[in-house]
Every structure is written in structure tokens, then in C-alpha cells.
Structure 1
Amino acid sequence: MNQIMQVKGLVAFPITIDPSVWIFDDRKKTSEEIFALTQSESDLEAYTKEVSKHWDRELLEGAHLPEKAAGKKFKKQEIITGTFYMPLAPFIKNAEPLKEAEQIVIQSAEKELTYPLSVVDEMVLLFCKNGKPLTDSGPIHLFFKNKGKDQTPLTSITGFELT
């Protein structure tokens, strides 16, 4: 099965995506991160709390030199055994949908399904299960964040077209 897929149709830049390299992408997420039932706080609240904590520490302890930042790093064991998802929205946004685009057609080996373009933010793509790429019914499976991880995914996806 072909691992490379296209995003085409009513887009400014037709792009190709290759799920086999997503294991190295920092945007990948685990099922716990994707299917969390509620977001306890907004990004702004989290940022404010972190800055407040840092400010309080500096007032009490004084300034510290920054620690050596190792960057975002996944442990080798997590990559070898992990199950990872990738949000679809960044790829669609990079293709820059034209103003006329209203729907996204998910093309698979069995069928084509059409969804409004507004639900792209809810779509996530499973590309790695238990540390292995999806080869039988892959290269990706499509899930919706709001339906939870017990849903039946769309499998054998071959491409995306905006109409």
C-alpha cells in the first residue's frame, strides 16, 4: 500500500503527506492527550500559572541560570511501544483552502466520505500502534476527537480532497 497521500482540490498549494516520518514530529500525541474528556484550563490560564510560579520562585530564591534545555525528547521506549496520533488540521491549513472550499472528502480504498470543512479540527490520524506503523489497513486511520477512542475508525485512507 502506498504510504504517501495527497491533499488536493480547492487548495492554494496541493501537498503530499508521508505518515512514515511522523514518529519524529513534535505534533504527535498519545491517545490520553487526544481523547481527554475535558480540558481543565485554557492555554492562557496555564501560561499565567506557569509565569506566576516562576515569578514567585524568583522573589523567594533569587534568579537562577537557566538549566540546560534538552528540548522535547521522547524516550526510546515510548517510541518503540507507543501509540500515536497526528492532528489533520495543520496539514489542511498548510495547503491553504480556497474560499470556495466547503467540504473535505476522505478517500479510502473502500469508499469516499464527505464532511464539512469545519470539522477538520476534530479529526486525528492514528499512524502508529504499539510502536509499529499501520500496514494492513493503513497507513493511517481517521478518528474524531469528540467521539472518543472506542469509535470505529475510517481505514485504508488514500488521500484528501477539498471541494
Structure 2
Amino acid sequence: MIVQIKGNVKFPITLDPSVWIFDDRKIRLEDAFANKTSENVESEETDAKKMAEMFEKDVQSGVIPPGKQPVKRIDKEKVLSESYVMPLKPFLKSAEINEGAKSARLIADDEEIIISIEQLMDSLARFSDSGKPLKDDGPIHIYFGDGSNREQPFKGIKQIIIE
């Protein structure tokens, strides 16, 4: 099943969630809404500073950073046992939402939901349950990035119409 992004966009696009299982941008559902404590944020900032310093040192000493990273091997057992979400932002950027757009209409089997463009940009699309595509109430479920609708995501989304 596919999902269309159309309406007030420069480039209407069609998404195929069935291939996202192979995409490196996917996020485990459990990790998507993990709360970051201030301690974790500080730790990440410190790590980033250390890496920046190491990079500067390498550049000054003439070490060339690696180009292409080796292709990751997919752990088939892990992929087939986890549930995943995909950030929608990269796809929305590719569609190039026009400046006048204010909202997005999510079209499901039996309902239409209207959300803001900001909410849509931060949203995650669940496409997998235990490594399998969402068949009965798919192709995707939409979760807000803050997890506020985690218990009741928008299910059965087949089109996203930018208005």
C-alpha cells in the first residue's frame, strides 16, 4: 500500500512504506519516544565537543576522514521482531510545501484528521509491527513527535493533503 503527499506542495510524491524496513532513517518505536533527561543532553553536548576537538586535531595533522562508510549488514532477526517508525520531515521537505500552507488533512479509511504543518513536520509514521507491514489498519499510523497521541495514533492513513 502506498501513501500520497499532495495538495499545496511543489512536488506531489508517493511513499511506499513497505520498503522503509531497509531504510537507515527508521527508528525503533520504543526509542522514538524515550525521554531525554537533562543529564543525557549534557552528556551528548560533551561528547559532541570531544568529537569536534578530535576532528580538528585530525584535520590539522593531515588525517583524512573516511569517505563512504561500509554498508551495514541487516540483522534479519532483529528487523523481523521490532516495530519501527519513520520521520516524515525528509519526505515533506522533498515535496516542498508551499509557503501559504497552513494545515494537513490526513485521509484514513473512515475519517479525516486536520493537523498543523508544524505537527506534521515533527510527526513519525509507524509502518511496521514486529517487522511486518501494517496490513489491517495501515499502511501507516501517524504519531506526533512529542508522543502526545502515542496511545491513540491516527491509523489507516492513505493520503496526506497539504492545505
Taking structure 1 as the reference length, the TM-score comes to 0.81
For residues 25 and 10 of structure 1, the distance between their equivalents in structure 2, rounded to whole angstroms, comes to 27
- In the other structure, the counterpart of 1:95 is 95
- In the other structure, the counterpart of 2:49 is 48
- In the other structure, the counterpart of 2:10 is 12
Decide whether the 8 Å contact of 1:143 with 1:151 is kept in 2. no
How many residues end up aligned between the 2 structures? 154
Aligned ranges for residues 78-157 of structure 1 at < 5 Å? 78-147=78-147, 150-157=150-157
Q: Using the aligned pairs only, state the percent identity.
A: 33
Letter in 2 for 1:112: E
Q: What is the deviation of 1:158?
A: 1.0
Q: What is the deviation of 1:91?
A: 1.1
Decide whether the 8 Å contact of 2:144 with 2:150 is kept in 1. no
For residues 149 and 101 of structure 1, the distance between their equivalents in structure 2, rounded to whole angstroms, comes to 23
Q: Are residue 36 (structure 1) and residue 34 (structure 2) matched?
A: yes
Decide whether the 8 Å contact of 1:31 with 1:149 is kept in 2. no
Aligned Cα RMSD in Å?
2.8
1:45-98 per-position Cα deviation (integer Å, ceiling 9, x unaligned): 543233446789x8xxxx8x97xx534443121111111100111111110011
1:99-127 per-position Cα deviation (integer Å, ceiling 9, x unaligned): 11111111101111111111123311111
Letter in 2 for 1:11: V
Gap runs ≥5 in structure 1:
none
Letter in 1 for 2:25: R
CA change 1:96–1:54 in 2 (3 A) is: closer
1:104-159 per-position Cα deviation (integer Å, ceiling 9, x unaligned): 11110111111111112331111111111111111111112312684211111110
Decide which moves more: 31-40 or 127-136. 31-40
Runs of 4+ in 1 over 2 A off after TM superposition: 39-56, 69-74, 147-150
Gap runs ≥5 in structure 2:
none
Decide which moves more: 5-14 or 150-159. 150-159
For residues 51 and 71 of structure 1, the distance between their equivalents in structure 2, rounded to whole angstroms, comes to 24
- In the other structure, the counterpart of 2:19 is 21
Decide whether the 8 Å contact of 1:103 with 1:115 is kept in 2. yes
